[in-house]
Structure 1
Amino acid sequence: MQKKFKLIPLCAALTLLGLHGAASAQTSTQQALMQKLEQMSAEIDKLKAEVTQLKSAQNQTDATAQRASQTAAQAQTEAQSAAASVAGTGLRAPGEPATVLTGYGEINYNHPTKNASATQADLRRAVIGIQHRFDDKTKFVGEFEWEHAVTSASDRGETEVEQAYIEHQLHPTLAVRGGLFLVPLGLLNENHEPTAYYGVERNFVETAIIPSTWREGGAMLIGTTEQGLTWKAGVSTGFDLNKWDATSPDGKASPLGSVHQELQLAKARNLSLFGALDWRGVPGLLVGGGLFSGKAGQGLAANNPTVTVWDLHTRWTPGKWDLAAVYASGSISGAGPLNAAFAATDPTPIPSKFDGMYVQAAYTLWSSGDYQLKPFARYERFNTAKAFAAFPLGLERPADPYERVATLGASFYLSPSVVIKADYQRFAVNSLNNRFNLGLGWSF
């Protein structure tokens, strides 16, 4: 019993020591946890401070970027405005190279649906252009064309100078041009690159009535106004009716195309006058017209006949639509004595009147990046022999009927400078000409 009583104080002491040790251990653990919490709190505060600094820096960066973007946009707008101003005046833009190489071309495939043996493929034309600025106000423009791939004595190809003129800016709104230039009539003659018009082949009104691509040698003034009006007026070489071949079908295809001179040893006893007006006062709208007239006897033909051709044209591009219409009319007065000299069997006498019109609509059906698909439809009505001068009794010639051509097709643009074309053309009078066409065109 005494031993038991002796063990009790010992056990109590050991228990107290254990409790004290546990308490000490617990206190040590708590202190360690508190230290870790304090460290974590300090690190969190540090992270918060860093995040605040980063946000502040980001805000400054965003503000700087926004200011830079606004500055760049403003600079771009000012540059575009300056470029447009320079383009409108004909002056040289800052940084523009003195000499620029341009060009265009097209390869066409024609398949008559009623005469498959006449199917053909042709490098219709390849053109290289050069523009050189002598200074900010004076430039040279030249275009050199090859037609039908091969030019030789035994081939049908041609090599020709399509344009070669000097233009000088007299004033920001007035320029003078001299040399071989395109006559400002219609929509096609001055803008005849394959990327600029719809259809594989050029329309009939602006090839049969207006003999595009039609060029003359001479001088013209070009003026612009703040109201969107552009005017052109000048004097140039004209037509030579002595070139008319009554045994050839060329005059039937295009009366003026068969007697234009293209400044090739052009007879210039008789010169012609011309003028044109184009108004672009409403965005997307063009309305205009032109007139060309002059004597065409060149001192040889009897009565010295007068050739006159004029046109009215309009183009409107609201949204995805591209709408256009052209009317052209021509006359050759005083050709009666020439026709009287032709034999009664000659198939192509000189007409006294010829005219034509077309309406056209195109629509941007699909686009993605530079790709664009534009289906179109065009209706033409034209007559290259609407009337003839008086023939001797018994040799009268009736007027030709109007040909009517409906064209339905599409242009697929790989880029604004490269186009693939396809269309079908139906002729109301001569259905043997019905055909399916394919084309590849480019310009730069």
Structure 2
Amino acid sequence: MKKTLVAQALSIAFLSTAIVFPAHASEAELLQRIEKLAAELDAIKAELAATRKKTDVVEQKQEALASTVSASIAPVAASGAAGNGATGASSGAGSWAQSTVVTSYGEINYTRPKNATNQAETDVARAVIGITHRFDEKTKMVAEFEWEHAVTSADDKGESEVEQLYVEHEFNNGLRAKAGLFLMPVGLINTNHEPTAYYGVHRNFVETAIIPSTWREAGFGLSRTHDNGLTWDLGLTTGFDLSKWDTASADGTESPLGSIHQEGQLAKSHDLSMHAALNWRGIPGLLIGGFVFTGKAGQATADFAANDSRVTLWDMHARYTPGLWDLSAVYTRGTISNTDALNLTFIGQPTPVPSSFYGWYTQAAYQLWKNEEYSFTPFVRYELFNTAHSYSAVPQGLGIAPQADEKVATIGASFKIGEGVVLKADYQKFKLDSSRDRLNLGVGYSF
């Protein structure tokens, strides 16, 4: 490529000297031709510079990839050497080089309500930059930084946040310990929520309204994966702050726990919470698991009527991918206890604190077509959820009626370009509130 461009440049230079004194060209024509040739020469120079720049970028990426691959292969090689009688020193930290990997994902969505087309909107839903730095073969740092809704300022709806920030160390027996801000191992998409990893333009309601998405807490965690396919997680972390509940806002109706989530932002930590998760992958293509979280949410707030309130959330989930099928299901239920006295102070307000909320969904997808570059996967999902299934008892005539279950049917498809880009389309039908029926289109990426 470079030789061709250089040859073109030399040819133009030669031609420019050849036409300086043609037999019948006027001075104006000569100047015009010279200016044209000069412009073409400048364009070729620019193209050469761009080519050199692209080559440099490719070489840098190749070097980075080689470093990452070396880091990934090193422990395997070291293990093999040890198995052949090598000493422990041969597999020590000296054989490892530090490595840093940058990842990213993002999505842009278009939503058009069926009965209110004038409310159609396009949203840069999120853009995320991730950095993983491996200090050695057993210790790493993971960070993710997210921007939502394109613009972040005091007058805009956008948010800028740290989605994850933790360090993790693996011991010789396979036990992993981490400390920092990390995602809760609940449901199917909370820890695997890139747009290329789930079906539908928007994340499903059960794993956003009942399980807050993306739910993260600051604290300490332990985990281990066994040879039989069993993985367990235990943790002690921050929890929820019920004093943040806003009775005049619809936030609590949209997501009870999402409205009192602290997200590591000056999180009140008088009351800490515990969680445990168990997942089994003992059969190829099958995942079965469960999760439970519990902790007080009053945070010893002064003059607060619900300091003994406790938040508990649990779920059961399964996913099976036999052949071209992708089948999944989630059931989750949450409670907020000891809210009687608090709700008495909320009499007359539209959004008291619910004592229970729950939801479930089933989903089936089938990869209808695939070649070396593209794949097309239709899917269907049915979900039921209720963010205020029940309220604690209050004096007769002063209470508020529980909400009815909302049921949503979603049908759509994902069109993947390679493994990193996805185009999505779906239509959602709401049983309880048909005014929410909508068409969704989206594009997302992940690398």
Q: Same fold (TM over 0.5)?
A: yes
- Determine helix, strand or coil for the equivalent of 1:338: helix
Pair 1:342 & 2:346 matched: yes
The corresponding residue for 1:389 is: 392
The corresponding residue for 1:181 is: 182
Give, in whole Å, the separation in 1 of the partners of 2:204 and 2:255: 12
Give, in whole Å, the separation in 2 of the partners of 1:112 and 1:186: 28
The corresponding residue for 2:219 is: 218
Describe how 1:315-354 pairs up with structure 2 within 5 A: 315-344=319-348, 346-354=349-357
Give, in whole Å, the separation in 1 of the partners of 2:444 and 2:173: 34
The corresponding residue for 2:203 is: 202
Pair 1:412 & 2:415 matched: yes
- Determine helix, strand or coil for the equivalent of 1:432: helix
The corresponding residue for 2:235 is: 234
Compared CA separation, residues 433 and 97, structure 1 to 2 (3 A): farther
Bigger mean CA offset, 96-105 vs 429-438: 96-105
User: Which of 383, 388, 409 matches 1:380?
Assistant: 383
The corresponding residue for 1:98 is: 99
Compared CA separation, residues 362 and 97, structure 1 to 2 (3 A): farther
Shift of residue 302, structure 1, vs aligned partner: 2.4
Deviation per CA, 1:201-246: give whole Å up to 9, x if none: 0000000000010000000001111100010001000000000001
The corresponding residue for 2:108 is: 107
Q: Does structure 1 retain, via aligned residues, the 8 Å contact 2:97–2:136?
A: no
- Determine helix, strand or coil for the equivalent of 2:147: strand
The one-letter code sitting in structure 2 at the alignment partner of 1:429 is: L
Q: Which runs of 5 or more structure 1 residues have no equivalent in the other structure?
A: 1-77
Bigger mean CA offset, 244-253 vs 293-302: 293-302
Give, in whole Å, the separation in 1 of the partners of 2:443 and 2:334: 32
Pair 1:291 & 2:254 matched: no
Aligned-pair identity (%): 57
The corresponding residue for 1:148 is: 149
Shift of residue 370, structure 1, vs aligned partner: 2.7
Give, in whole Å, the separation in 2 of the partners of 1:436 and 1:263: 35
Pair 1:426 & 2:434 matched: no
The corresponding residue for 1:51 is: none
CA RMSD in angstroms comes to 2.0
- Determine helix, strand or coil for the equivalent of 2:355: strand
Pair 1:437 & 2:404 matched: no
Shift of residue 82, structure 1, vs aligned partner: 4.3
Compared CA separation, residues 417 and 96, structure 1 to 2 (3 A): farther
Q: Does structure 1 retain, via aligned residues, the 8 Å contact 2:376–2:416?
A: yes
Q: Does structure 1 retain, via aligned residues, the 8 Å contact 2:96–2:137?
A: no
Give, in whole Å, the separation in 2 of the partners of 1:183 and 1:79: 30
Describe how 1:114-153 pairs up with structure 2 within 5 A: 114-153=115-154
Q: Which runs of 5 or more structure 2 residues have no equivalent in the other structure?
A: 1-71, 81-91
The one-letter code sitting in structure 2 at the alignment partner of 1:320 is: L
Q: TM-score by structure 2 length?
A: 0.78
Compared CA separation, residues 372 and 172, structure 1 to 2 (3 A): farther
Pair 1:306 & 2:328 matched: no
The corresponding residue for 1:248 is: 249
Give, in whole Å, the separation in 1 of the partners of 2:160 and 2:355: 32
Shift of residue 171, structure 1, vs aligned partner: 2.6
Deviation per CA, 1:57-98: give whole Å up to 9, x if none: xxxxxxxxxxxxxxxxxxxxx979949x99xxxx99x88861
The corresponding residue for 1:263 is: 264
Shift of residue 343, structure 1, vs aligned partner: 3.1
- Determine helix, strand or coil for the equivalent of 1:153: coil
Deviation per CA, 1:267-308: give whole Å up to 9, x if none: 000000000000000000000000000000000232420000
Larger radius of gyration: 1
Bigger mean CA offset, 142-151 vs 387-396: 387-396
Give, in whole Å, the separation in 2 of the partners of 1:156 and 1:163: 21
Shift of residue 393, structure 1, vs aligned partner: 2.6
Q: Does structure 1 retain, via aligned residues, the 8 Å contact 2:174–2:225?
A: yes
The one-letter code sitting in structure 2 at the alignment partner of 1:331 is: T
Pair 1:400 & 2:394 matched: no
Describe how 1:36-55 pairs up with structure 2 within 5 A: none
Compared CA separation, residues 379 and 96, structure 1 to 2 (3 A): farther
Give, in whole Å, the separation in 2 of the partners of 1:291 and 1:105: 29
Give, in whole Å, the separation in 1 of the partners of 2:333 and 2:295: 15
Pair 1:370 & 2:366 matched: no
Bigger mean CA offset, 327-336 vs 296-305: 296-305
